[in-house]
Structure 1
């Protein structure tokens, strides 16, 4: 009984020592001038020397798309069923930049983040391929950790391929000339992100209108190869609401899952198209392995709404829409 009390006391002291401090996440904005080259012959898939083996000769400013810089062929057509692009390009396009990785990022996990690309993005560090991502509706996040050395300069080469990657219907709204156009490039945020080796990899929110609560599901990655322990501080705020909940976390696996329900109270406001009330969930993860301490923050917004199937209509919070 005495030993159990001592263990509980030590755990409480450890959790108390992990107080919130300045966020340990570091970011470097990558917008600006990049070297550039088109690849209508698709050297990447052929036997000729691929583009990442060489320094590209042209330049382009990112974020941006090839249409903006009159890259491709000038369209002689005037379509009656959609807008007409002045310049069209479909195929691989290469983007390249030499980047010095800060020495203080040693020990961190390093990611290359593109908010919006179209369609396939492939990344090389120097001459080594890192990964290929073909998500069409969410950001591309390439893990560079095992390919770069903090304190050194590496050549980052990105290939964006806007050809059809799958045999999908040509009228689908995510990839067609009839809606957003079949553009090639990188839009939105583009940055390097360095996080501590224990971090929140994924956070999902599930509001419960009846109970006036939200379930927060976390996936925590542990890259230290050691047991870790600490706490997660979950804060829900917005519309005059401020609720905080503290949860102990820990484990020795590479991945840990956590689900916690946070009660918002009777005053929590519902969301609909006429009253778009939003709340923000922020999770501050404070952990450690022995003498090392880590911190990571992740946030997301949500609305209190419930979508259901009615007899003849879709119901939003019980109201037919």
Structure 2
């Protein structure tokens, strides 16, 4: 028995050592250069070694870089009251050295534009013939990447990690990674008031936060996993996307095994044998995985979680993934939401990307546990992420605590932005929704989804009807609506109606809460009965 235990310990330690050898943590010191005049690309800054140092993950402002706040500082967000700029009583707060902006939390410094971040890396010999990926968990906003003097590409998701496949560019030896980060609104305009970009709450920061790493995997690997729980039949449909860069068709074995997170109880392994074709095209493997008799369901009272362990053997190494999920069914029935067939009453609040200490979203689970525990202590079970999408850690915390989340595609297309008129934002929102569903779709807490908030655009109804219909068919694990606030669309599962509230926009002292004695008997049935959905 002791010999067996010792062998198992040796195997576990060997596995941990192998994982560390296939992972390079890029956090720490990077060099930086601010590209104020947009000269870096034409002047080939990727061939220039910078000298000024910053610490990543972090923002430029955190590292003491940027411009002093002045009357000419460029802010992202709508200012409704211009009296601060004009009224004599605010004159002293407009003086140099005593600038005090009343519209949002004022940062110490401000930078809007492109910044280049650079780091030298050494790729080990055992990474030869590996699929190498650069993982940037939460950049803000657009990234362009160079490896040495070769440009790799550009990504501009506001909601999900930017990942770059580098196996064709990173060979064993020394290399320079150059990342150009640009936080300006350009062709893609999600709306200047979107909480994903506005200075109103988090700030329109520039930098890279969360995990920054290089990861090496076999050339035949698991790309994505989507798990679709079927509560009624006690099974999970697994859609596993695999890719093969080996140059030949390979016989493969894919193993799946589910484990209850709380107890460690495991279900039987399912083994699938197949041949994986070589090439750029991804292959999708569909497997029905039985969860045993009476699987534990997930809801706010019993947030039971499972982990699906996947292992792909292809003859060029073993690739593995672990995916957390829950057995739950979130639907609508008449005027009610249901969870696992039971009527549900949502009691929620907004989360508008409010991070006053850093100016950017937290990417650690402990922070989000603190936020969500505070919400639950006030009797709430629901958060709406207003015109933004949080990082992975928020979903993990909500899964653990049993909180129902509404996620939005990082847009408040108003005040100069609009949807449904053929601009670049229309296509970008589809892409952003795809990225969000791929990155966070397995989380049971991810129950509701909207394009974003209060859109403008004469064709918004048609656009959002098509948008909602498309994603309801693609991923039925949650319910969908068009825009929070408006418009009403026939294809939606539910309506985010702003009228059932006690303080309307601009009402001031005329609102119910200010003209009536305190009470808990407000009646909104005349609003609710107008539509046939929650």
TM-score of the superposed pair, with normalisation by structure 1: 0.86
1:162 aligned to 2:162?
A: no
- State the Cα distance separating 1:83 from its structure 2 match: 2.1
1:242 aligned to 2:266?
A: yes
Higher strand share: 1
Whole-angstrom CA distance in 2 between matches of 1:71 and 1:211:
56
Instruction: Give the 3 Å change call, closer, same or farther, for CA 286–267 of structure 1 in structure 2.
Output: same
RMSD: 2.0
SS at match of 2:312: strand
Higher helix share: 2
**Residue 361 (structure 2) aligns with:** none
1:298 aligned to 2:337?
A: no
Is contact 2:246–2:278 with CA below 8 Å preserved after alignment?
no
Deviations 1:153-193 (A, max 9, x none): 11111111111141221122222222322111111111111
1:207 aligned to 2:229?
A: yes
Is contact 2:146–2:179 with CA below 8 Å preserved after alignment?
yes
The 5-angstrom pairing of residues 168-207 of structure 1 reads: 168-207=190-229
Whole-angstrom CA distance in 1 between matches of 2:203 and 2:231:
38
Whole-angstrom CA distance in 2 between matches of 1:251 and 1:101:
28
| Counterpart pick for 1:256 among 283, 298, 304 | 283
Is contact 2:307–2:322 with CA below 8 Å preserved after alignment?
yes
The 5-angstrom pairing of residues 1-321 of structure 1 reads: 22=15, 26-44=22-40, 47=42, 49-76=43-70, 77-150=99-172, 152-165=173-186, 166-238=188-260, 239-240=262-263, 241-243=265-267, 244-254=269-279, 255-288=282-315, 293-318=316-341, 319-321=343-345
- State the Cα distance separating 1:79 from its structure 2 match: 4.1
Task: List runs of 5+ in structure 1 lacking aligned partners.
Answer: 1-19
- State the Cα distance separating 1:284 from its structure 2 match: 0.8
Whole-angstrom CA distance in 1 between matches of 2:15 and 2:313:
11
Deviations 1:30-85 (A, max 9, x none): 1111111111111146x5x1321211121001111112122112225544443222
SS at match of 1:67: coil
Whole-angstrom CA distance in 1 between matches of 2:290 and 2:237:
9
Task: List runs of 5+ in structure 2 lacking aligned partners.
Answer: 1-11, 71-98, 346-534
Deviations 1:260-290 (A, max 9, x none): 11111233222123322211111111112xx
Structure showing greater relative contact order (alpha-carbon pairs closer than 8 Å, 6 or more residues apart): 1
TM-score of the superposed pair, with normalisation by structure 2: 0.53
Is contact 1:207–1:304 with CA below 8 Å preserved after alignment?
yes
SS at match of 1:242: coil
Is contact 2:306–2:326 with CA below 8 Å preserved after alignment?
yes
Whole-angstrom CA distance in 1 between matches of 2:308 and 2:236:
10
Whole-angstrom CA distance in 1 between matches of 2:300 and 2:61:
34
Instruction: Give the 3 Å change call, closer, same or farther, for CA 59–149 of structure 1 in structure 2.
Output: same
Of stretches 84-93 and 193-202 in structure 1, the one that deviates more from structure 2 is 84-93
SS at match of 2:314: strand
Is contact 1:34–1:59 with CA below 8 Å preserved after alignment?
yes
Is contact 2:222–2:312 with CA below 8 Å preserved after alignment?
yes
- State the Cα distance separating 1:110 from its structure 2 match: 1.1
Is contact 1:310–1:320 with CA below 8 Å preserved after alignment?
no
Whole-angstrom CA distance in 1 between matches of 2:306 and 2:242:
22
Is contact 1:199–1:222 with CA below 8 Å preserved after alignment?
yes
